[in-house]
Structure 1
């Protein structure tokens, strides 16, 4: 008996504070605000420490949804998982993807096989000195397991994308740790983004059995042979805990959607993107009953300074961050293959796929 139905809506935005598209869908009855579980967005900021477009977007969404849910804006943020990824370089187009989940009373006609399911969990708040270290790995692994249970997914093989929003360090947070006699993994706010992303990704890998559990501080940003094939982590200044969203397929789902993934070996791995599209019936021989909803991917500048034997300059550009270069490059590749720039490409792929590469997941709508 299928118990839940998951919906997915991709909505273009005119700016970080634009909630009109979502409000129109709620007003028309296409989205029940009480069913919204998570919102993932791409905002047109720089994706760095000082990218306040992420916080602005979340605040705008919470304020707009609060009266619809009869909650305070603060309560909305606790109820719904918001993950805003800054940076829409190149052809990437700002948008949000809204995930809904509702209980169903009876088996819908025509639904068969495993369908899209979503689960959410939160870690506890971290101390600044715990970011990028074993505590973040361990607590993230626990949260991934909890989110899988929430999604009704028992087999790790059915997990195709794990999106995490994680904290970063600020000078105030570093000073707070020092006042307690503790050192943080780094004193650089920008570098802390990578440490937090990396530790969170390793937590996903531990939870899904992709790597052994006996890893620690010394492995973060050092052992790049350790990674998750489905983790996507994004750092932000607006929180001190990890928000974990698990996306996969489950027999208990009555959704009209399906998800699958592949792993890009580098920033120009078009074959992997095509494989991900093909795995949900959207490849070169696209099935007539399938429609692309969105693509989610990670991007980073290869840490060894090369792509397939040729030198790249992304790590040596003092004008533009390497994460912005990578988002633009991978975003352009995926947009060209998908036929749309409204795709979710996030920069900084430490321990998220092989070094220089990253996971790419595709959600398709099925017409039963």
Structure 2
């Protein structure tokens, strides 16, 4: 994408027959904004793509956004390339063989959240319910076959704070940017609860974005001011699916863990001894986090003490360079902030391979 409103690439894919507009079910992408509460590049990208697809689908733009899930993450620091990954679902000439599991996708959305529900157990439970719905749609019965759950939910905008104030409602914070950890954490815990990675007895409002020893290893969550509900895209492998794609996941030990790409690919292939074949790699999705205390493998970093550049931007740039050095491709989805997404200092990574 040449800019957040650039739809020329998708237009070419549609015009040359590579993508059928009616088969598009989701778009996940990176835009060149700051990733903060005032990052309006995400809303611009959704608007631009919905206007384009409205023409092909014969729908109003707002109907397009109800039909297709759009998830954008702002921040393409360093070598990361602004891009969109388009997911389509269509009929396959070959029926599932009943033995091989292939990539499948389930989508669900929650109702709109009130400002006072953002970052609370109300959001956790709503996301958990939606994750189970998405898992059912994907045809996945075993949670171990779920490898990547992308959730985009709301953060607290100044308007949302004012609305809560007018009703005397209590918020987790009054700081829009400070609400991101709570929002991301609550949605990640919703994934953990739905997939059996956490029990509800261990969850309560006071531990969200605080007790980081409770987490999901497959959640990848973001928060933005461009939406009020939570959108859940659940990816896994199912025996009910056909096609030539599989997905796997691994855990990044830190932002320089280049070996995680190979481990995620091996997970997709179901072979822990498989060598990495970059030609098979279709898409890569990861979270980036600063090392605890700023210490990376015994060396001090300034990620957490830099007053000029937020640590998320440091982390995205660092991890982007490491992963691109392995894949040779900078069109990688990397989002910052890992509250309740793997252990502190670690982060999830998922890979889709053509097999």
Which band: TM-score by shorter chain? Answer: over 0.9
Distance (whole Å) between structure 2 residues aligned to residue 209 and residue 279 of structure 1: 20
Task: Let me know the Cα RMSD of the aligned residues.
Answer: 1.8
| Structure 2 match to 1:114 | 101
| Structure 2 match to 1:310 | 299
Deviation sequence 1:81-107 (CA, Å, 0-9, x none): 000111111111111000011244752
Secondary structure, aligned partner of 1:304: helix
Query: Could you tell me which of 319, 325, 338 is aligned with 2:314?
Result: 325
Query: Could you tell me which of 195, 213, 230 is aligned with 1:242?
Result: 230
For residues 336 and 106 of structure 1, do their structure 2 counterparts lie closer, same or farther at Cα, with a shift above 3 Å needed? closer
Distance (whole Å) between structure 2 residues aligned to residue 18 and residue 179 of structure 1: 39
Distance (whole Å) between structure 1 residues aligned to residue 44 and residue 98 of structure 2: 39
Contact 2:150 2:219 in 1 (8 A): yes
Report the alpha carbon displacement of residue 330 of structure 1 after superposing the two structures with TM. Answer: 1.0
Deviation sequence 1:127-179 (CA, Å, 0-9, x none): 10111110000100000000111111111000000001110101221121122
Alignment TM-score, normalising by the size of structure 1: 0.92
Tell me, which stretches of 5 or more residues in structure 2 are unaligned?
Answer: none
Report the alpha carbon displacement of residue 67 of structure 1 after superposing the two structures with TM. Answer: 1.3
Report the alpha carbon displacement of residue 287 of structure 1 after superposing the two structures with TM. Answer: 5.3
| Structure 2 match to 1:83 | 71
Deviation sequence 1:23-78 (CA, Å, 0-9, x none): 11111111111111100011111111111111111110000000111100010011
Alignment TM-score, normalising by the size of structure 2: 0.95
Contact 2:293 2:304 in 1 (8 A): no
Report the alpha carbon displacement of residue 279 of structure 1 after superposing the two structures with TM. Answer: 3.0
Distance (whole Å) between structure 1 residues aligned to residue 262 and residue 95 of structure 2: 33
Report the alpha carbon displacement of residue 14 of structure 1 after superposing the two structures with TM. Answer: 1.4
| Structure 2 match to 1:151 | 138
Deviation sequence 1:178-198 (CA, Å, 0-9, x none): 222211000100011111001
Distance (whole Å) between structure 1 residues aligned to residue 93 and residue 345 of structure 2: 45
Contact 1:43 1:88 in 2 (8 A): yes
Contact 2:182 2:208 in 1 (8 A): yes
Contact 1:116 1:250 in 2 (8 A): yes
Contact 2:262 2:275 in 1 (8 A): no
| Structure 1 match to 2:211 | 223
Tell me whether 145-154 or 269-278 shows the greater mean CA deviation. 269-278
| Structure 2 match to 1:32 | 20
| Structure 1 match to 2:329 | 340
| Structure 1 match to 2:52 | 64
Report the alpha carbon displacement of residue 237 of structure 1 after superposing the two structures with TM. Answer: 0.7
Tell me, which stretches of 5 or more residues in structure 1 are unaligned?
Answer: 1-12
Deviation sequence 1:287-331 (CA, Å, 0-9, x none): 59x621111000121343322333321121111111100100111
Contact 2:154 2:225 in 1 (8 A): yes
Task: Output aligned runs, 1:127-276, within 5 Å.
Answer: 127-214=114-201, 215-276=203-264
Secondary structure, aligned partner of 1:351: coil
Task: Output aligned runs, 1:4-23, within 5 Å.
Answer: 13-23=1-11
| Structure 2 match to 1:100 | 88
